[in-house]
């Protein structure tokens, strides 16, 4: 039996910062090695999520979405302070490590050099 090609995209729920790899063959989250591809978009961005075929672009959209959400909470003023604090706590690793521009550029360079590179987001283990 001939195997079908593997197609995937990266999904970021708004305003979450977690990037999920989605297989377009079975539409289930998968854990596979990353294969760099073009900037073509398999899905259009929706009101609930961003979708992109590039991991780096998905991370950039997650960063932009987080910045916009934090900006919204700041504009709401003091009543939104507990939600802002909780958001910063919940997304600490992404905001301070995974979505920092220098780390995104380093990841982009690594993906260009090594087609078998497997990205694992930085997480603090307590």
In the chain, what are the domain boundaries?
8-113
**Which residue, 40, 8, 48, 46, is CA-closest to 26?**
8
* DSSP element (H, E) containing 22: strand 19-23
The per-residue pLDDT for 116 is 79
Q: Terminus-to-terminus CA distance in the chain, angstroms?
A: 45
Q: Which two tokens stand for residue 51?
A: 């979708």
The neighbouring-strand residues paired with 9 are 22
The per-residue pLDDT for 32 is 47
Contact 56, 111 (CB under 8 A): yes
The neighbouring-strand residues paired with 20 are 11
Per residue of the chain (126 residues), what is the pLDDT tens digit?
A: 555 566 777 888 888 888 888 877 665 554 544 444 434 444 555 667 777 878 899 999 999 999 999 999 999 999 999 999 999 999 999 999 999 999 999 999 998 998 778 888 998 887
**Which residue, 126, 7, 121, is CA-closest to 63?**
121
The neighbouring-strand residues paired with 25 are none
């Amino acid at each position: 039996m001939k195997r079908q090609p593997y197609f995937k995209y990266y999904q970021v729920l708004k305003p979450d910062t977690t990037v999920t790899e989605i297989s377009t063959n079975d539409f289930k989250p998968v854990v596979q090695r990353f294969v760099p591809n073009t900037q073509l978009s398999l899905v259009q961005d929706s009101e609930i999520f961003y979708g992109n075929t590039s991991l780096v672009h998905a991370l950039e959209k997650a960063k932009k979405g987080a910045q916009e959400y934090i900006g919204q909470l700041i504009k709401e003023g003091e009543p939104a302070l507990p939600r802002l604090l909780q958001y910063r706590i919940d997304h600490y690793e992404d905001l301070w490590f995974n979505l920092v521009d220098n780390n995104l550029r380093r990841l982009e360079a690594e993906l260009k050099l090594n087609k078998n590179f497997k990205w694992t987001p930085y997480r603090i283990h307590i």
